[in-house]
Structure 1
Amino acid sequence: MKKGSWLLLFSLLLILSLAGCSAGGTNQPATNVAKVETTEIMVSAAASLNDALTDLQKAYAEKTPEVKLTLVFGASGTLQQQIEQGAPADLFISAGKTQMDALEQKNLLVKESKVDLVGNELVLVAGKDNTKVTSLEDLTKAEVDKVSIGTPESVPAGKYAQESLTNLKLWDALKPKFVLAKDVTQVLNYVETGNVEAGLVYQSDAQGSTKVKVVTVIPASSHKPIAYPAAVIAATKNKQASEDFLKYLQSSDAQKIFVNYGFKTLAK
């Protein structure tokens, strides 16, 4: 056989051999594992829930890894307006009933999902080393220049503060001293930084700070009961997952975490 013919035969044999190896490789068992589909839930929640919900987010991720929770915090009134304007949200947790009721009246909630989730207390706080403020009445003294509360129209804690101070006959005297804040987190920050001598926040906010002290608990009789209502948003595309998470928040395990952060459980 001529040299050229040998080379041609060898080339053909080599091609067939490689093709066989390649075909054999396709018979190997598949090693790819199907990925678990993730469902994302957008939770719009009052600023005072930040620490507790962030902890609960981690706990729920361990329990239900196929659900991703995205938390958006702000003043309840601001979040209410955002939902009314079509901002994406699956679940809303407000620090006041007024904001939740407004959404319900506009048919923006899954009504049967609405529930009062936790409670709280309103407290007067001052800087850790502050000696000027030892009572509510001290706020009226000349040496106390500034007192912060949340803007009553949009911040439930500010609304409770207005109601309490009015009933305690202190509102008019303190009005010139008020520094209004966008949410309770900002009130707390004003007190922590010394921009104001005192502020009215929730017990849960005060508990989470090492820079302030609780001067006194505001009498519960001076304001309406504090409750945090929660509900699934009607426009959600993840209704079942949202309802499941809300159910989890009502569980004994979740309620213990809320209590650890200064919230109160509500009698069923």
Structure 2
Amino acid sequence: MSIAACGTSNSNQQKKYNNQLFISVPSSMYSAMKLIKDIYQRDNPNIDVIYNSGSSGALQQQVERGAPIDIFISASSKQMDFLLKKNLLIRESNKTFLKNKMVLVASKKSIQNIDLNTLTDGNFEKLALGEFRSVPAGQYAKEALTALKVYNKLESKFIFGKNVRQVLFYVESGNADLGIVYITDTKNSDAITLANIPYDLHSPITYQIAVVKSSQNISEAKKFINFLLTERAQNIFKDYGFIGIDS
């Protein structure tokens, strides 16, 4: 009797898990992924999509530690390549599905018009960046500053955010005069002005995705990845400022 009850409980738990997808999502794409989730669940009412958001570096560490994650998304190839070498992801499921670009932002209250000269002149107090080790946006920003030959000049002005959302908040709140974020992070902000950072100043910004090898829901995870590659999903991302894989 007790064995049967235990078996039924385990069966119900497994069934519940098979109806859930746990997905690690970089902070920079969380808003777009919220809409993707609504649409996907409307078309697949038997699946409950659950997001875990943070910097790509923090999400990578969670996979390393064995967190129950089905899909890992990174805003850079660095974190993806690391987990692939650790044999923690299903290699054939790995896809590049989006691109992005960097912008320089300033609070409208402090600087009305900005361009790259605003950055290189150095006539400001604080520059907000993503942490270099764990936030891909910070890594791209460091590359751009180095290419512009101003990294050493500006280093004393850096303040760091644990993700790009925090970097943008520092600028919007006036805690930093300038910040470097993805253009997609600025979509819903009315508090900033921005200037494009040339794409050739840093490594290509590619968003990578793969199924975690320890996933107990591999087939559904692969189905979700395939949806992100469809024209319907890609158009949603483009509305949020991302650059599609066909561009």
Instruction: Output the TM-score relative to the length of structure 1.
Output: 0.83
Give me the whole-angstrom Cα distance separating, in 1, the residues matched to 2:70 and 2:106. Answer: 37
1:159-189 C-alpha deviation (Å, 9 max, x unpaired): 0000011011111111100001101010011
Larger radius of gyration: 1
How many residues were matched structurally?
232
Q: Retained in 1: the 8 A contact 2:27–2:163? A: yes
Question: Which amino acid in the other structure matches residue 153 of structure 1?
Answer: R
Give me the whole-angstrom Cα distance separating, in 2, the residues matched to 1:140 and 1:169. Answer: 9
Q: CA deviation at 1:207?
A: 1.5
Q: Retained in 2: the 8 A contact 1:151–1:180? A: yes
Please name the residue that 2:4 is paired with. none
Question: Which amino acid in the other structure matches residue 71 of structure 2?
Answer: L
The equivalences for 1:1-268 within 5 A come to 39-131=19-111, 134-141=114-121, 143-214=123-194, 216-267=195-246
Q: Retained in 1: the 8 A contact 2:75–2:208? A: yes
Q: CA deviation at 1:134?
A: 1.7
Give me the whole-angstrom Cα distance separating, in 1, the residues matched to 2:217 and 2:111. Answer: 51
Give me the whole-angstrom Cα distance separating, in 1, the residues matched to 2:178 and 2:89. Answer: 37
Q: CA deviation at 1:141?
A: 4.6
Q: CA deviation at 1:130?
A: 2.9
SS of residue matched to 2:220:
helix
Q: CA deviation at 1:45?
A: 1.0
Which of 154-163 and 36-45 deviates more? Answer: 36-45
Give me the whole-angstrom Cα distance separating, in 2, the residues matched to 1:172 and 1:136. Answer: 16
Instruction: Output the TM-score relative to the length of structure 2.
Output: 0.90
1:170-216 C-alpha deviation (Å, 9 max, x unpaired): 111111000011010100110111100110000100122121121x1
Give me the whole-angstrom Cα distance separating, in 2, the residues matched to 1:165 and 1:141. Answer: 12
Q: CA deviation at 1:140?
A: 4.8
SS of residue matched to 2:244:
coil
Please name the residue that 1:8 is paired with. none
Question: Which amino acid in the other structure matches residue 117 of structure 1?
Answer: F
Question: Which amino acid in the other structure matches residue 240 of structure 1?
Answer: S
Q: Percent identity?
A: 39
Question: Which amino acid in the other structure matches residue 143 of structure 2?
Answer: E
Residues 137, 173 of structure 1: alpha-carbon distance in 2 compared, 3 angstrom cutoff:
farther
Give me the whole-angstrom Cα distance separating, in 2, the residues matched to 1:258 and 1:49. Answer: 9
SS of residue matched to 1:148:
strand
Q: Retained in 2: the 8 A contact 1:133–1:197? A: no
Q: CA deviation at 1:98?
A: 0.3
Q: Retained in 2: the 8 A contact 1:132–1:144? A: no
Question: Which amino acid in the other structure matches residue 119 of structure 1?
Answer: K
Q: Retained in 1: the 8 A contact 2:112–2:193? A: no
1:219-266 C-alpha deviation (Å, 9 max, x unpaired): 111111110000000000000000000100111000011001110002
